[in-house]
Amino acid sequence: MATVGYAGFVKNEVAMKQFNIPFTAEELTTQAAMCFGLPKDEVQYGVNLALNRLTGAEILRLAKGVYYRPERTVFGLVPISPAEAIYREYVETERGIIGYITGPTLYQKLGFTTQIPKYRYFATNAVGGRDKIIENAGVILRPPKAEVNDGNYRYLQVLDVIDNKDGVAFEVDDANRKLAETISRFELDFARLVGYAKVYYTQKVINTLVDVAARFVA
């Protein structure tokens, strides 16, 4: 009886998940324990069994204990890459933006270099202290200089380019002109950009912004 109940519970919870957003067996086990009023270790087997039955039919396994609900086409379930799943969990989440693309990935994306980095780099509120490497996904997660939200991530991206902690050689004739073009394209407020630099970044970053302002900001 309990197992049938868990199967229905898990199926309903999965049906409410957004597409391609990772979730864990642990969180479903916790929810089931609260729903049934039982200890987690008593519901864990039933939850895992229900997840196993749904895997391949309604959900896909991303890693041990981690699943997601993929979109379905006429060809079946459409899997996502581990890197994309991590992006959706640590950067652009269902709760809003908590991170952003940074590092060599960002420099290449914005046209400062043509080098294709070995890893994708994401700065995220979900990581503290130091970089976290996820080898199987080819991703490096970094703690941001400031807490990231929908309104400031572009500012932090530009400042990360200037900071260039990875020491990547930029392949543009005038990096500061390129910075000015990027600031304009992102429609950033220069005073706010300088404000973030003064609080969270080094004097080197501030000096670069001063040069950009003197040469390119009307």
Digit-coded pLDDT (tens) for 154-185: 999 999 999 999 999 999 999 999 999 999 99
pTM of whole model > 0.75?
no
Residues 21 and 121 in one domain: no
Query: Of 82 and 33, which is predicted with more confidence?
Result: 33
Residue 45 and residue 33 in one domain? yes
Judge if 56 and 95 occupy the same domain: no
CATH number at residue 24: 1.10.10
Q: What is the mean pLDDT of residues 42-63?
A: 90
Quick one: what percent of the chain has pLDDT higher than 70? 98
* Last residue within a domain, chosen from 78, 101, 129: 78
Over residues 109-123, the mean pLDDT reads: 93
Tell me, yes or no, whether 92 and 200 share the same domain.
yes
Split at pLDDT 50, 70, 90, the class of 70 is: confident
Listed residues 17, 51, 78: the one ending a domain: 78
**pLDDT more than 90, % of the chain:** 62
Q: Show which of 27, 60, 78 is a domain's final residue.
A: 78
pLDDT bin (cut points 50, 70, 90) of residue 64 is: confident
* 49 and 92 in a common domain: no
Q: Are residues 20 and 59 in the same domain?
A: yes
95 and 47 part of one domain: no
Average pLDDT, integer, range 122-147: 91
Tokens encoding 163: 């900071």
97 touches 51 (CB < 8 A): no
Both 74 and 89 in one domain: the answer is: no
d(CA 93, CA 51): 23
List the one residue out of 56, 58, 26, 61 whose CA is nearest residue 43: 26
Residue 1, pLDDT > 50, answer: no
List residues bridging with 171 in a β-sheet.
none
Whether residues 118 and 64 fall in one domain? no
Domain of residue 190: give its range: 82-216
Mean pLDDT of 21-49: 90
- The per-residue pLDDT for 218 is 60
Number of Cβ within a 10 Å radius of residue 91: 21
Q: What's the pLDDT at 4?
A: 58
Q: What's the CA gap between 149 and 35, in Å, rounded?
A: 33
- In terms of domains, do 107 and 208 share one? yes
Same domain, yes or no, for 103 and 74?
Answer: no
